Amino acid sequence: MLTQIVSRQLKLSSEHSQMAHSLHWLDQNIDAFPHYQYALEEPNGLLAAGGDLNPQRILNAYSLGIFPWYNPGEPILWWSPDPRSVIYPHEFKPSKSLKKIIRQNQFTVTFDSCFSSVIGNCALPRKEDAGTWIDKSMQNAYSELHRLGYAHSVECWMNGVLVGGLYGIALGGAFFGESMFSTQSNASKIAFAALCHQLTKWGFCLIDCQVHNPHLESLGAVEISRSEFLTKLNTALLQPNQEHWQFDGFK
């Protein structure tokens, strides 16, 4: 979906030139972003282009409810969509079948044990899409944020083999989910259930899912207005950052 949107909207043909020229292009040396009121309605939430993926710019973006999402080889695009898809960790309710799998202890869950492997697996092409938006630049940027203590991974193991997981950014009481993968049925769901369970213990306010899709909806994602999202985000950012990321188990 992203590939189609971006390639369609950023072609500098006559029918798209007005949109392209109306985009705010970021200064390479300044980490500031335009106000979200300048985000385009079509494509929904496209706010700015350009800049780079240095850690300070990315963290500044997330603190303002903005995230990068673009095609490899094209300018970095920055988004602030309205509405916004979120999950409240304390409201997550695993299905009966997922609860059964959790009780069976088929999987082992860890946090931050192999971030590079998780993001590398998330970057692999999916069956329905031959490409990936998590290029090497993205992988390097988020790996640096992991080194700095802001990006985190959840790993799901079966018989000592990594079979699923997810990664994202944590700021205060907000977790910004980026991507997940699974090579074994239900592995990513187990990882997500573990994340919600632990974030609830830590008092996190929300998980940002960015934009709606049926899979996230099946996990409990709801859409709220951008203004409501930013209000909740500002409250979440008042909490101190969680320093020690370790899964305590489902009990």
Tell me the CA distances in angstroms from 179 to 7, 100, 204, 227, 229, one per residue in order: 21, 25, 19, 24, 20
Which of the four pLDDT bands, split at 50, 70 and 90, describes residue 3?
very low
The arithmetic mean of pLDDT across residues 2-20, rounded, is: 42
Name the pLDDT band for 19 (thresholds 50, 70, 90). Answer: low
Contact by Cβ (8 Å): 180, 123: no
Tokens of 198: 């632990």
Mean pLDDT of the chain: 91
In which band, very low, low, confident or very high, does the pLDDT at 225 lie, cut at 50, 70 and 90?
Answer: very high
User: Which pTM does this prediction carry?
Assistant: 0.91
- Residue 215's pLDDT is 85
Binning pLDDT at 50, 70 and 90, where does residue 29 land?
confident
Examine the pLDDT at 154 and tell me if it is beyond 80. yes
**CATH code reported for the domain at 2-81:** 3.30.70.3550
Distance CA 120, CA 170 (A): 19
Q: What confidence tens digit (pLDDT) does each residue in 189-210 have?
A: 999 999 999 999 999 999 999 9
Fold of 85-236: Aminopeptidase (3.40.630)
**Residue of 121 and 21 predicted with greater confidence:** 121
pLDDT tens digits along 95-105: 999 999 999 99
At residue 20, the pLDDT reads 52
Q: What is the number of other CB atoms lying within 10 angstroms of the CB of residue 97? A: 10
With tokens 């304390």, the residue in question is 90
* DSSP code, position 241: P
Phi, psi of 79 (to 5 degrees): -125, 145
Q: How confident is the model over 206-219, as pLDDT tens digits?
A: 999 999 989 889 89
Average pLDDT over residues 122-147: 86
pLDDT, tens digit (0-9, with 9 covering 90-100), for 49-93:
999 999 999 999 999 999 999 999 899 999 999 999 999 999 999
Q: Is the pLDDT of residue 8 over 60?
A: no
What is the residue extent of each domain of the chain?
A: 2-81, 85-236
Helices (H) and strands (E) in the chain, counts: 9, 11
